[in-house]
Amino acid sequence: MRLSNLTIRAWLMLTFATVLCLSSVALVLSIQALDPAKAGTAKLGLFSIFGLTVLTCITATWALTRAISQPLGEAILIAETVASGDLSQEFSTEREGEFGRLLQALGEMEDTLTDLVGRIKASTDTITDAAADIDSGHADLTRHTEEQAASLHETSHSMQQLAGTVLLNAERAESASQLASHASGIAEKGGAVVEHVVRTMDAISGSSRKIVDIIAVIDGIAFQTNILALNAAVEAARAGEQGRGFAVVAAEVRSLAQRSASAAKEISQLIGDSVRHVENGAELVTQAGTTMREVVEEVRRMTALLGDISKTSQEQREDLQRVTSAMDRMDQVTQHNVTQVSRAAQAAHALSSQAKELSSAVGAFKLD
């Protein structure tokens, strides 16, 4: 402000010097133009007028300097206060004229700037808090999204392993179905063989019974032969010497009949044992046939069940492939979301930093 006053005074002094020089020149020219007889009186008057002019100029310069420098200093004080960021000061603007309008305009500028900075500061505080919340929320969201992406990746990997296991089970179920179908064929053949064995055992049992009947006939023939031999021996004894040879033959026939009867009895016992064994065997074979038919039926059921399992496993394999594809797409989308959330978090952090810088810049103004 002091430099400004010096500048104003310099201009006024320059103006005063100019006026003084012009007055001096006019005074000299006037003195030269006067009559020498009246020069003394004229010079006194001219010097008086010159002194009065100089005094008037000095007074006018002082008054003009005071009238300009004081309001201009107040205006400079307002401008410097506002420039320093202090908007809390109140200044008097009760002046008239152009300087009064200038001070009033500066006061209105201060009020407008105070209101504007206040609103900016309030908005900046709100933005700072919101940016901090967004930054914190994005940090949590980023962490949760990354955790979700990791879990989804692990789930996708597990689903791939499960799909491989289901595929292996489907292949094994298909192989088991084929083996069961083959076993069913073998069991059916075994059942047919067992039925054939049963029929064969029945035939053997029938033949054994026929043999028993034949042995009974042979035993009866041997008994009758023995009776006939006994009668022949009696008749030979009656004949005396003439029947001695016939008696020998009768004895041999009797011996043969006894041997035949003994053999027939043994054969009958053996055949009886064989018949019993055959009957037991036939019963066992019959039971085996029944069991084999049950086995064949169970194998057929197992074959049908394994076929259903194989079909279901194939359907599960296709479903798991679709689920795995969906999980892969979800994994890609989640990874993309992680990238986007990371970028958003960076933007939120940058916004928070900018808001803090703006708040710091606005904080340089003093409102209260």
Q: Which residue ranges make up each domain of the chain? A: 1-84, 131-362
Does 229 score more than 50 pLDDT?
yes
**Contacts of range 279-287, beta carbons closer than 8 Å, 24 or more positions apart:** 279/205, 281/201, 282/198, 282/201, 282/202, 282/205, 285/194, 285/197, 285/198, 285/201, 286/198
| Residue closest to 367 by CA, chosen among 132, 130, 81 | 81
Q: What is the pLDDT of residue 173?
A: 72
Stronger pLDDT, 217 or 177, i.e. the higher one = 217
- Residues near 39 by beta carbon (within 8 Å), at least 6 away in sequence: 31
Return the percentage of the chain with pLDDT > 70, whole number: 67
| Residue scoring higher pLDDT (324 or 87) | 324
Q: Fold for domain 131-362?
A: Helix Hairpins (1.10.287)
Q: Which pLDDT score is estimated for 364?
A: 62
Calculate mean pLDDT across residues 129-143. Answer: 73
- The pTM for the full model equals 0.41
> 86 pairs with which residues across the strands?
366
pLDDT tens string 70-93: 666 777 777 777 676 666 666 665
Could you tell me the two tokens for 265? 């009895």
Percent of the chain residues past pLDDT 90, beyond the cut? 0
Of 44-53, 159-168, 224-233, 266-275, least confident by mean pLDDT is 44-53
